[in-house]
């Protein structure tokens, strides 16, 4: 009897151990369970885990911004928000991904090559089964063509936020300086050079030794508007029916020669190589620089800082400049603005999808995007318009909280977002509505499918070319060395990428 009792005790102990191990396993999101199911026998829902999200840089704290509270209430999940740096975010993201840090969600600016490289290396969770089980709102909100464009080897590893506008940036110039010197807005590359020479020689801002005709940031080797004036608005451009990377484009030498000459003459900031994004903006907004290359979304902060220092200051975007061969235009966005993915190291992948799904519930998403009608926005003649100042106070950063969008309705909601600041809307309206359509050169690779060689090499090739171009502009390298660099570029993956890209391009040209 004692032996039987002892055996039963052992069996009970083993059963208890198994049940404890199963419970521990069930609390680990890496195994697909998240602790959201009802607690055994209690009938109560277990607390939802705190999710960790890595996001793009913002100038306010995500965690205390009003939208964070809105989403916590609507989804039931508290999210701890961290963000990438403003400069060299790709390098930082690579370090984080390689370290295996346990972020449940990562949102980055769209870089298809970077994304597909992570997917190929097994660094991301396949979202297809999770969306199938927990993502009905995701399936409704994201269009099938967006999903297909993001598949890598038949699997989906990211939720896209599609672009809602075509043109990002141009050269912003002090129009009061132009007026003071009796100059017209430049329309060609030669006219721009003349304007910058006048800015340098006559110092209309009265800056003395601080005077900078045009400033750019240190990694801005390809200057928006100017590259278009030399027929290279996008990273890959059509040359005689084939897509060619800029460094292999016959116009590359002419572009470099032009910009290097601006630098040599002191018309581009002598310190540009060391400039961070914030440094260049400070030079313009302090009144020291007469021109800068900036995104239209940066205009409000620049305007506020500049007019605080110089109340009578005025500026405007330079139109599409014509180059020596009559070329002009801007690289036009196509595809995605941001991508949200779940790293393999995520602790709660299932909950991350549930959170995205809840955020894309139609009314929740509309509230996230533009707030409450009558409080944050109003409808005028069928268009959404912001109610200020509450819209800016409580929805200015709303787009940074999105992981995917209601792709059918967001373009309409977005009208309110872009109208939240009159100065910003004027800049946006000029670049995206008032520029002639033939100045908007769509990126042919914007919605291209996953391509193995291109994806594997694109980021490295981009960095190589950017660094080399900066050195050419600054006079550290000479153009005589271009053939040698081109050979290195081809050997580093440029040739394989070009073959693959053009094999695909031939199919869409038919």
Give the global pTM. Answer: 0.74
pLDDT given for residue 32 in this prediction = 37
pLDDT given for residue 385 in this prediction = 93
User: Which residue, among 404, 413, 308, has the nearest Cα to 361 in the 3D structure?
Assistant: 404
Gap between the Cα atoms of 112 and 103, Å rounded: 20
β-bridge partners, 275:
none
Gap between the Cα atoms of 360 and 338, Å rounded: 16
| pLDDT tens digits, 52-89 | 999 999 999 999 999 999 999 999 999 999 999 998 89
Gap between the Cα atoms of 284 and 509, Å rounded: 43
Torsion, Cα of 483, 487, 490, 491 (10° steps)? -170
Q: Which CATH class is domain 176-290+301-331+447-509?
A: alpha beta
Peptide bond between residue 389 and the one before it cis (omega within 30 degrees of 0): yes
| pLDDT tens digits, 297-352 | 999 999 999 999 899 999 999 999 999 999 999 999 888 999 999 999 999 999 99
Fold agreement (51-165+334-439, 176-290+301-331+447-509): yes
The answer to whether 350 touches 244, Cβ cutoff 8 Å, is no
Considering the domain delimited by 51-165+334-439, tell me its CATH architecture: 3-Layer(aba) Sandwich (3.40)
Q: Is 227 exposed, middle or buried (0-12, 13-18, 19+ CB in 10 A)?
A: buried
| pLDDT tens digits, 200-232 | 999 999 999 999 999 999 999 999 999 999 999
What's the DSSP call for residue 433? I
| pLDDT tens digits, 224-271 | 999 999 999 999 999 999 999 999 999 999 999 999 999 999 999 999
Q: What is the mean pLDDT of the chain?
A: 90
Query: Please, which residues have CB within 8 angstroms of residue 91's CB and are 6 or more apart in sequence?
Result: none
H-state helical runs in 27-59: none
Helix 362-370, helix 410-418: angle, nearest 10: 20
Higher model confidence: residue 451 or residue 501? 501
The answer to whether 398 touches 67, Cβ cutoff 8 Å, is yes
Gap between the Cα atoms of 147 and 357, Å rounded: 15
User: 13 falls in which pLDDT band (50, 70, 90)?
Assistant: very low
Domain boundaries, the chain: 51-165+334-439, 176-290+301-331+447-509
Rounded mean pLDDT, 137-166:
93
pLDDT at 25 > cutoff 80: no
Gap between the Cα atoms of 177 and 289, Å rounded: 10
Torsion, Cα of 259, 260, 261, 263 (10° steps)? 90
pLDDT at 48 > cutoff 70: yes
User: Which residue, among 447, 364, 350, has the nearest Cα to 402 in the 3D structure?
Assistant: 364
pLDDT given for residue 33 in this prediction = 37
Looking at 87-241, which runs of residues are DSSP E strands? 105-109, 151-152, 155-156, 158-162, 169-174, 236-239
And the tokens for 388?
Answer: 């200020």
pLDDT at 461 > cutoff 90: yes
pLDDT given for residue 12 in this prediction = 39
Rounded mean pLDDT, 476-503:
97
β-bridge partners, 373:
377
């Amino acid at each position: 009897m004692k032996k039987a009792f002892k055996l039963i005790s052992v069996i009970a102990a083993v059963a208890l151990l198994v049940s404890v191990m199963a419970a521990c396993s069930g609390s680990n999101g890496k195994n697909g369970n998240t602790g959201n199911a009802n607690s055994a026998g209690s009938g109560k829902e277990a607390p939802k885990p705190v999710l960790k999200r890595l996001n793009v840089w913002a100038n306010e704290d995500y965690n205390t911004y009003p939208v964070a509270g809105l989403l916590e209430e609507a989804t039931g999940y508290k999210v701890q928000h961290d963000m990438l740096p403003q400069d060299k975010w790709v390098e930082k993201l690579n370090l984080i991904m390689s370290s295996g840090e346990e972020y449940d969600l990562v949102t980055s600016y769209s870089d298809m090559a970077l994304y597909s490289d992570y997917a190929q290396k097994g660094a991301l969770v396949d979202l297809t089964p999770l969306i199938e089980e927990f993502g009905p709102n995701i399936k409704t909100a994201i269009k099938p063509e967006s999903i297909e464009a993001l598949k890598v080897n038949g699997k989906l590893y990211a939720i896209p936020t599609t672009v809602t506008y075509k043109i990002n940036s141009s050269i912003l110039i002090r129009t009061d300086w132009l007026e003071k010197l009796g100059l017209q807005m430049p329309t060609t590359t030669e006219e721009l050079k003349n304007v910058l020479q006048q800015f340098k020689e006559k110092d209309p801002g009265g800056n003395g030794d601080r005077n900078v005709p045009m400033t750019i940031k240190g990694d801005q080797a390809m200057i928006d508007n100017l590259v278009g004036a030399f027929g290279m608005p996008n990273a890959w451009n059509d040359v005689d029916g084939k897509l060619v990377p800029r460094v292999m484009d016959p116009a590359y030498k002419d572009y470099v020669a032009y910009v290097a000459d601006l630098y040599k003459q002191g018309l581009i900031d002598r310190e540009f190589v060391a400039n961070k994004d914030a440094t260049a903006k400070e030079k313009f907004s302090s009144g020291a620089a007469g021109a800068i290359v900036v995104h239209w979304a940066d205009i409000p902060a620049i305007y506020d800082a500049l007019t605080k220092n110089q109340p009578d200051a005025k500026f405007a975007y330079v139109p599409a400049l014509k180059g020596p061969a009559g070329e002009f235009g801007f690289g036009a966005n196509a595809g995605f603005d941001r991508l949200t993915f779940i790293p393999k190291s995520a602790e709660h992948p299932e909950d991350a999808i549930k959170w995205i799904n809840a955020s894309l519930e139609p009314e929740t998403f509309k509230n996230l995007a533009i707030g409450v009608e009558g409080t944050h926005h109003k409808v005028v003649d069928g268009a959404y318009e912001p109610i200020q100042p509450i819209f800016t106070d409580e929805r200015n950063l709303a787009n940074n909280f999105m992981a995917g969008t209601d792709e059918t309705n967001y373009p309409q909601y977005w009208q309110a977002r872009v109208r939240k600041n009159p100065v910003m809307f004027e800049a946006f309206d000029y670049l995206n509505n008032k520029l002639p359509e033939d100045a908007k050169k769509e990126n042919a690779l914007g919605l291209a499918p996953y391509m193995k060689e291109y994806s594997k090499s694109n980021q490295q090739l981009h960095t190589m070319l950017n660094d080399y171009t900066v050195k050419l502009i600054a006079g550290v390298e000479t153009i005589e060395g271009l053939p040698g660099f081109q050979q290195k570029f081809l050997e580093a993956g440029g040739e394989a990428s070009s073959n693959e890209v053009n094999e695909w391009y031939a199919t869409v040209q038919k």
